[in-house]
């Protein structure tokens, strides 16, 4: 009985909204106040969208097994599949695909787009690319000093990988950055870069000496601090990305059949804005740790 009432309400809202939109357009053409006509059109558009959403959700609930409820399932590590007889995590395969896409795009860019760039009159896509590259180089220069030219491309690629990883959730896949093994591998790379550039700048003796300042008593704590870097970076990124995935799954389960459209709108934040923030935090922390090692 409730479903029948909801169907009637949704049909009325949809019909009134569509008729109202048509009326608002016609009243605008006959010379009425365009501001009032615009407000009426907006109001009826919202009513039509609500009616359509309610109608679709009610039909899905009536004719499918989807039920609303607080249910969520997740794991610290991704599920594994068999590939050539070997167990491989799904997020690992997704990471390989993303890496392949980035490599292919890079090759296409270098062979077919970059040669067409003009030094005298840059425009369009060239301006966008130059703006992005210059922004990353300037951003890295403040922290990485003489090594900014070497590390800025890596940081740019890392940000691109993290953002594309988040986009995979739009296709129903688990983002690699929500798998602890992936985030720990990223943190481990930062750990290697910290010590590599620290030794490159100061030498082995200088690196060890720098860890004894301001007093040799802090040396054991500096060792523990360095070891904790990949763990803290991995857990921070993993927790934030997994939290976004859990929120999306909870939203879908709570809404049940009425989840049409709403998770997609919420996904604009959790799959676009939120990953950009996490990429920025991961990169700025990585550069900060490297800067501490080369100072």
Taking only the tens place, the pLDDT of each residue in 4-17 is: 776 677 777 777 77
Mean pLDDT of all residues in 112-122: 80
Q: Which residue has the higher pLDDT, 249 or 275?
A: 275
pLDDT (0 to 100) of residue 71: 57
Residue 177, classified by CB atoms within 10 Å of its CB into exposed (0-12), middle (13-18) or buried (19+), is buried
Q: Which residue has the higher pLDDT, 168 or 255?
A: 168
Confirm if 60 and 260 have CB atoms less than 8 A apart.
yes
In the predicted model, is pLDDT for residue 52 greater than 80?
Answer: no
Q: Taking the model in full, what pTM does it have?
A: 0.74
Q: How confident is the model at residue 2 (pLDDT cuts 50, 70, 90)?
A: low
Write the DSSP symbol of residue 1: -
Out of 38-52, 70-84, 166-180, 242-256, pick the least confident: 70-84
| Tokens (6 digits) for 52 | 């359509």
What is the overall mean pLDDT for the chain?
A: 79
Distance between CA atoms of residues 55 and 260, nearest Å: 10
pLDDT score of 274: 79
**Please, which residues have CB within 8 angstroms of residue 275's CB and are 6 or more apart in sequence?**
162, 163, 165, 166, 177, 241
Do residues 14 and 22 make contact, with C-beta atoms less than 8 angstroms apart?
no
pLDDT of residue 259: 61
Predicted local confidence at residue 192, as pLDDT: 93
Residue with the larger pLDDT of the pair 9 and 155: 155
């Amino acid at each position: 009985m409730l479903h029948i009432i909801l169907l009637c309400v949704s049909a009325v809202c949809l019909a009134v909204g569509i008729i109202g939109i048509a009326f608002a357009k016609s009243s605008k053409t006959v010379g009425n106040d365009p501001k009032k006509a615009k407000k009426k059109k907006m109001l009826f558009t919202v009513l039509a969208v609500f009616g359509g959403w309610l109608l679709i959700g009610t039909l899905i609930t009536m004719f499918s097994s989807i039920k609303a409820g607080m249910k969520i399932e997740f794991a610290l590590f991704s599920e594994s599949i068999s590939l050539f007889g070997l167990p491989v995590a799904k997020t690992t395969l997704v990471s390989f695909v993303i890496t392949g896409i980035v490599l292919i795009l890079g090759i296409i860019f270098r062979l077919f787009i970059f040669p067409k760039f003009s030094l005298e009159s840059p425009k369009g896509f060239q301006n966008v690319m130059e703006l992005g590259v210059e922004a990353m180089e300037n951003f890295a220069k403040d922290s990485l000093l003489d090594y900014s030219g070497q590390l800025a491309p890596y940081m740019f690629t890392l940000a691109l990988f993290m953002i594309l990883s988040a986009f995979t959730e739009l296709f129903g896949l688990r983002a690699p950055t929500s798998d602890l093994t992936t985030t720990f591998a990223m943190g481990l790379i930062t750990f290697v870069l910290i010590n590599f550039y620290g030794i490159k700048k100061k030498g082995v003796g200088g690196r060890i000496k720098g860890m004894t300042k301001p007093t040799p008593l802090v040396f054991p704590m500096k060792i523990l601090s360095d070891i904790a870097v990949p763990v803290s970076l991995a857990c921070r990124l993993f927790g934030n990305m997994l939290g976004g995935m859990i929120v999306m799954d909870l939203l879908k389960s709570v809404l049940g059949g009425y989840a049409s459209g709403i998770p997609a709108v919420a996904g604009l934040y959790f799959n676009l804005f939120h990953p950009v923030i996490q990429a920025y935090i991961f990169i700025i922390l990585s550069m900060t740790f490297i800067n501490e090692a080369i100072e």
